[in-house]
């Protein structure tokens, strides 16, 4: 079964469509990111390789279908809400600097499955 890709790229632009594209239409339903914002609760989602929306992080590890915010029109078209998408390096910096938001959702991948400072990834 083919996985449906999100309609938005990490920088907020609509993802390209074409005959070989399998993108789900953008959604406008409520989601955890919108609920956190509505109730003035700080939060972020961390997906390894996000790299500030360029989706080209360390070792090409970004998984766009793993970031639910990329499917949300309200989040991806709002620069403030879109900024809650984070890379694993942002999470490590927030931990080190004691600046974690109230809610941190982390999608662990190869780099996140090991403690910071460990250079060699675990076998999958």
pLDDT score for 124: 47
User: Is the model more confident about 63 or about 8?
Assistant: 8
56-106 pLDDT, tens digit each: 766 667 888 888 999 999 999 999 999 999 988 899 999 999 999 999 998
pLDDT score for 11: 93
pLDDT score for 37: 95
User: Is the model more confident about 114 or about 31?
Assistant: 31
When pLDDT is cut at 50, 70 and 90, the band that residue 1 belongs to is very low
Rg, C-alpha atoms of the chain? 15
Pairing between strand 103-107 and 85-86?
unpaired
């Amino acid at each position: 079964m083919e996985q449906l890709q999100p309609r938005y790229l990490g920088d907020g632009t609509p993802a390209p469509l074409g005959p070989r594209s399998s993108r789900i239409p953008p959604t406008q339903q409520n989601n955890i990111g919108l609920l956190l914002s509505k109730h003035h609760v700080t939060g972020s989602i961390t997906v390894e390789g996000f790299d500030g929306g360029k989706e080209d992080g360390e070792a090409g590890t970004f998984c766009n279908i793993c970031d639910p915010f990329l499917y949300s029109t309200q989040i991806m078209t709002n620069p403030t809400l879109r900024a809650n998408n984070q890379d694993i390096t942002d999470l490590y910096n927030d931990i080190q600097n004691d600046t974690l938001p109230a809610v941190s959702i982390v999608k662990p991948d190869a780099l996140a499955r090991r403690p910071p400072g460990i250079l060699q990834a675990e076998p999958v």
